[in-house]
Amino acid sequence: MPNADEPSPLCVPAVRTTGVGKLLAVGGLAALFFGIGLIRAPIPGVNESHYLGKARHFWQPDWCAGDLFLESANPHAVFYAAFGWLTTRWSLSEVALILRAGQCLILAAGWVALGQRVTGSLGRTLIAATLFLLWQASGTWSGEWLVGGAESKVWAYGGLLLSAAWGLEGRWNRSALAAGFAISLHPVVGCWGLIIAGIAWGISRLEALRNPSAQPLARTEPTAPRTVLITGMLLIAAALPGLIPAVQSLSAPSPEVAREADYLQVAVRLPHHLDPLTFPVRAWRDYLLLVLVWSLLKKQPLSQPPAQSLQGNLWIERWMLASLLVALGGLIAAWGPRPFQEMPFWALRAKLLKLYPFRLGDMLVPITVAFSAAAALWPTTSMNLRRKVLVSLLSLGALYATFRLPIPDRILATQPAAIQSDWLAASAWIRQHTPEDAVVQAIHDNWALRWYAERSEYFHFKDCPQDPASIVEWNRRYQLINQWKLKTFSDGRGSQIELNDLSHQTGIQYLLCFAYTPMESQPVFASPYFRVYRIESTTIAGPTPAP
């Protein structure tokens, strides 16, 4: 019996490329991903603050002890366990650099491995990467992205790309371990990748039934019972370390709490990812345009891949179609009147939508279009020099545009230098002059406050927990802070009594505000743009515990 980790004799052989050439391609692409990530998502990136904050708290529970988000469930426990120890030796910014380099490397390795199987050429694979980066920078459908800050989903996508490439080669042991790795690092991304691969396999079987006389592709799926068993066991063993804590994080103290948490995730905190009826018109337009471009490229003879990559090209098309079927199911689940709770069976719909059904579709459509467009631009290896130069210039132009396109996320780096400097100074003052167990709250903008100040935050809109009970408590704090601000500033000034009342209700001890915020109290820190107020009173009852 052949080794399941060796290339299957039933598979079409991969395009031959020298080991040095492949290593150079992977290294160069990883460097490109790393550089674009630093330009478009300066440290800390939009999700880096809570991923690395969680990772540090996982290894140092006394760091920001009492923080609702940090002490909530750990659905990405493998990421925290595997990389959190780095935060005990280096600063968060240094760890972010290390993890970004690592995830860019695995992502580049997966892209090159799959790209060669799909396009039949290392050159086309690299051209496809430049086109993909441009489309990602131009905007996405459901907010999914691949190159940016350090977080677990980038590692998971790298694992999925490698798993797909090894699966096409019939290296089932490696493919199963890579898929399990993806599930462990990010259960949602990894599980959807596995589900979509299964749907794609079903599509291929239906195609065979519809046209049994057609010339079959070389079959790559394992057929021997022993091979299937070993492959399945490896997949499960690699996936369980991340799957178990993710499932545990879904447990709720009651069905009522579970329904409320599902609603809050879909309709309050994450509608830009989970509710397609809230996606902007621009996102729908660009996404449908990509699908149209793919359908046109598919009809062009120049985009047809060479024989040795035909199988990979057809399989990635099936994966894309499978992801679109899942997205269509999500769209059906979301379709209905708004507000969200007016839809029939809204609780069931929310439970389905919170699983991110648009995630893989948002990623696989531009990836597939990029590979198809690269094949159309570079149809043969014997092109004349003029065309090669034009295609190379086009790729360089795509990279230039990627670096220059505006960044939609509002981050500290987009603020004027004076505001950045004052924000960092205020955060540093809190870190240096407050007790380690102090509770802080930024009233207007709390970008990466925990990252810079290293203190527990009472509420942070971006950092919504994952377990139902903590999500409900997050919303209670959200409502409390908003109501307090409306009541306090309705008369144009925050009195000392109102500050003490906030402290009494929440346990907040230090308040960070813009300098123009009208307060009667004297700040303990002042800069041209920010103020820090101590609001602790002798009647503090402490924060209300989560239900």
Q: Is the pLDDT of residue 541 over 50?
A: no
Cβ partners under 8 Å of residue 293, min gap 6: 369, 373
What six digits make up the tokens of 332?
């059906």
The per-residue pLDDT for 8 is 46
**DSSP notation for 423-462:** HHHHHHHHHHHS-TT-EEEESS--TTHHHHH-SEES--SS
Q: What DSSP character marks residue 527?
A: -
CA 284 to chain centroid, in Å, comes to: 20
Q: Is the pLDDT of residue 47 over 50?
A: yes
Q: How far apart are CA 105 and CA 538, in angstroms?
A: 53
Q: How far apart are CA 306 and CA 248, in angstroms?
A: 47
Per-residue pLDDT band at 388 (split at 50, 70, 90): confident
The per-residue pLDDT for 180 is 97
* Per-domain residue ranges of the chain: 20-213+220-246+308-324+356-404, 414-534
Cβ partners under 8 Å of residue 301, min gap 6: none
Residue (of 180, 128, 18) closest to 369 by Cα position: 128
Q: Is the pLDDT of residue 370 over 60?
A: yes
- Environment class of residue 206 by beta-carbon count within 10 Å: exposed (0-12), middle (13-18) or buried (19+)? exposed
Report yes or no: 145 and 136 within 8 Å, Cβ to Cβ.
yes
The per-residue pLDDT for 204 is 84
The per-residue pLDDT for 418 is 87
Per-residue pLDDT band at 216 (split at 50, 70, 90): very low
The per-residue pLDDT for 412 is 60
Alpha helices in 146-266 (DSSP H): 152-168, 172-185, 187-210, 225-248, 255-263
Q: How far apart are CA 174 and CA 164, in angstroms?
A: 10
pLDDT tens, 220-260? 566 678 888 899 999 999 999 999 999 999 999 999 999 99
DSSP β-ladder status, 439-442 and 456-457: parallel
Residues in the chain: 547
Per-residue pLDDT band at 206 (split at 50, 70, 90): confident
DSSP β-ladder status, 510-514 and 530-534: antiparallel
Q: How far apart are CA 28 and CA 96, in angstroms?
A: 20
Least confident of 61-65, 154-158, 515-519: 515-519
Q: Percentage of the chain surpassing pLDDT 90?
A: 63
Q: Is the pLDDT of residue 163 over 70?
A: yes
Q: Is the pLDDT of residue 23 over 80?
A: yes
Q: Is the pLDDT of residue 35 over 70?
A: yes
pLDDT tens, 394-442? 889 988 988 888 776 555 666 788 888 999 999 999 999 999 999 999 9
Q: How far apart are CA 503 and CA 515, in angstroms?
A: 20
Question: Which residue did the predictor score with more confidence, 415 or 3?
Answer: 415
The per-residue pLDDT for 2 is 45
Residue (of 105, 78, 128, 110) closest to 242 by Cα position: 78
Peptide bond into 44 cis (omega under 30): yes
Q: Which CA distances in Å does 423 have to 288, 447, 522?
A: 41, 9, 19
Q: Is the pLDDT of residue 6 over 80?
A: no
Alpha helices in 41-151 (DSSP H): 48-59, 77-83, 92-119, 122-138
Q: What DSSP character marks residue 89?
A: T
The per-residue pLDDT for 365 is 95
Q: Is the pLDDT of residue 199 over 60?
A: yes
pLDDT tens, 107-143? 999 999 999 988 888 889 999 999 999 999 988 999 9
Amino acid at 547: P
What six digits make up the tokens of 124?
């086309």
The per-residue pLDDT for 302 is 42
pLDDT tens, 267-296? 999 999 999 999 999 999 999 999 999 988
Cβ partners under 8 Å of residue 11, min gap 6: 168, 169, 170, 218, 220, 311
Tokens 């230090």, residue located = 510
pLDDT tens, 446-465? 788 999 999 999 999 989 99
Mean pLDDT of the chain: 87
CA 472 to chain centroid, in Å, comes to: 23
Q: For the sheet containing 525-526, what is the strand order? A: 456-457, 439-442, 510-514, 530-534, 525-526
Q: Is the pLDDT of residue 169 over 90?
A: no
pLDDT tens, 292-315? 999 888 766 444 455 445 566 788
Residue (of 174, 195, 193, 188) closest to 238 by Cα position: 174
Question: Which residue did the predictor score with more confidence, 58 or 494?
Answer: 58
